[in-house]
């Protein structure tokens, strides 16, 4: 029994030449199996399939089971269009999970950025994107991932160069991220990368490691200075506002006293004018009335009172002028 090796595609088969009918059937079965295996393909739910025929793009297929011409005539490329990719700048994530671990290597060639006031910041950021046009991503650019990293670094450096060192560290971080996102999106569209930028986020903006201790000491001194200024301002406000309150109270009391004095004076003037009018009409009656009213006011304030007849020559024995009787404040 003689055997012969037959190569079909990338596979080699041994065929018994002594039985031509059997080996012809075997070859046919193998051909059918290979044809079926290379004719049907499945595209996942988050993928798109690109079919190239002799190197030319024919169609882009959606998720599901599809057919193509076998034997290498049609080539299939699958691209994950629903997956959100991420590019890291200035750092690298080694593993994710409950506790994310990062590569301890320094990537200062990416993260050191010159600011508008000619200082250097150590800026770390991420760019998240999705593949929106699979054909452009695979065939329009030789290395789309490196191209995206280049334009991302260019955009962040240009935007950060418009702000000072302190602005980059403090209140302009989110603004730099938004402007960088817009610029990266425009550049990606110009380069026909076929991606959609979802997020540009600045993770850390710090001084470079060699000068970081000195920078922290300066920040601590500034914080202490601000604390002392705030305490002094607090004490100043407490004293000033209390003094202003007391001054305002004194002013209001003086105004009230002035109004009271003016009203009293005006009332006295009106009373005097009324008496004068009555005096002009009846001088004797008015004079007597004033005398009686005055005596009434005076006698109310006297505790010990003695009324003696002008014609009396000697003190009567019935007149009790002892201290005991006088202490009662009665008229004896």
Give the separation between CA 123 and CA 113, rounded to whole angstroms: 7
Shared-domain flag, residues 40 and 105: no
Last residue of a domain, one of 206, 228, 250: 206
Please report which helix (H) or strand (E) contains residue 286, including its range: helix 283-300
Note the pLDDT tens digit of each residue in 255-298: 999 999 999 988 888 888 887 887 788 888 888 888 888 888 88
Residue 50 is assigned to a structural domain of this protein: yes
Give the separation between CA 215 and CA 227, rounded to whole angstroms: 18
Give the separation between CA 318 and CA 109, rounded to whole angstroms: 126
**Is 0.95 surpassed by the pTM of this model?**
no
Give the separation between CA 329 and CA 332, rounded to whole angstroms: 9
The phi and psi torsions of 104 (rounded to 5 degrees) equal: -85, 0
Note the pLDDT tens digit of each residue in 131-164: 999 999 999 988 999 999 999 999 999 999 999 9
Residue 235 is assigned to a structural domain of this protein: no
Tokens of 99: 């506790």
Last residue of a domain, one of 206, 225, 259: 206
End-to-end CA distance of the chain: 172
Shared-domain flag, residues 76 and 150: no
CATH number at residue 173: 3.30.479.30
Number of structural domains found in the chain:
3
Last residue of a domain, one of 154, 179, 206: 206
Shared-domain flag, residues 65 and 93: no
Q: Closest Cα partner for 125 from 82, 174, 171?
A: 174
Shared-domain flag, residues 167 and 147: yes
* Residue that wins the pLDDT comparison between 60 and 36: 60
Shared-domain flag, residues 16 and 106: no
Residue 222 is assigned to a structural domain of this protein: no
Note the pLDDT tens digit of each residue in 75-100: 999 999 999 999 999 999 988 777 88
Domain that holds residue 17: 3-80
Q: What is the mean pLDDT of residues 221-245?
A: 89
Residue 184 is assigned to a structural domain of this protein: yes
Residue 221 is assigned to a structural domain of this protein: no
197, 113 contact by CB (below 8 A): no
Give the separation between CA 103 and CA 93, rounded to whole angstroms: 6
Shared-domain flag, residues 196 and 97: yes
């Amino acid at each position: 029994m003689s055997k012969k090796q037959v190569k079909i595609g990338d596979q080699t088969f041994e065929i018994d030449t002594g039985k031509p009918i059997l080996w012809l059937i075997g070859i046919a079965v193998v051909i059918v199996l290979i044809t079926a295996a290379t004719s049907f393909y499945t595209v996942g739910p988050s993928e798109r399939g690109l079919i190239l025929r002799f190197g030319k793009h024919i169609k882009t297929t959606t998720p599901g089971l599809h057919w193509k011409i076998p034997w290498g005539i049609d080539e299939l490329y699958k691209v994950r269009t629903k997956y959100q990719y991420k590019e890291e700048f200035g750092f690298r994530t080694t593993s994710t999970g409950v506790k994310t671990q990062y590569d301890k290597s320094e990537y200062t060639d990416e993260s050191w950025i010159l600011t508008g006031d000619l200082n250097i910041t150590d800026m770390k950021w991420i760019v998240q994107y999705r593949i929106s046009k699979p054909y452009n991503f695979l065939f329009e650019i030789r290395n789309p991932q490196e191209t995206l990293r280049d334009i991302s670094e260019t955009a962040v450096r240009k935007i950060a160069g418009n702000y000072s060192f302190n602005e980059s560290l403090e209140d302009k971080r989110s603004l730099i991220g938004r402007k960088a996102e817009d610029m990266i999106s425009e550049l990606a569209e110009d380069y026909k990368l076929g991606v959609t930028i979802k997020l540009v986020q600045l993770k850390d903006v710090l001084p470079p490691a060699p000068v970081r201790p000195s920078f922290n000491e300066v920040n601590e001194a500034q914080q202490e200075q601000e604390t002392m200024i705030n305490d002094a301002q607090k004490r100043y406000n407490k004293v000033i506002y209390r003094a202003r309150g007391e001054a305002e109270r004194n002013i209001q009391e003086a105004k009230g006293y002035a109004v009271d004095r003016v009203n009293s004076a005006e009332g006295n003037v009106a009373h005097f004018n009324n008496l004068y009018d009555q005096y002009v009409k009846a001088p004797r009656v008015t004079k007597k009335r004033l005398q009686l009213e005055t005596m009434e006011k005076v006698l109310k304030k006297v505790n010990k009172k003695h009324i003696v007849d002008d014609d009396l020559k000697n003190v009567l024995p019935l007149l009790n002028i002892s201290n005991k009787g006088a202490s009662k404040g009665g008229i004896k």
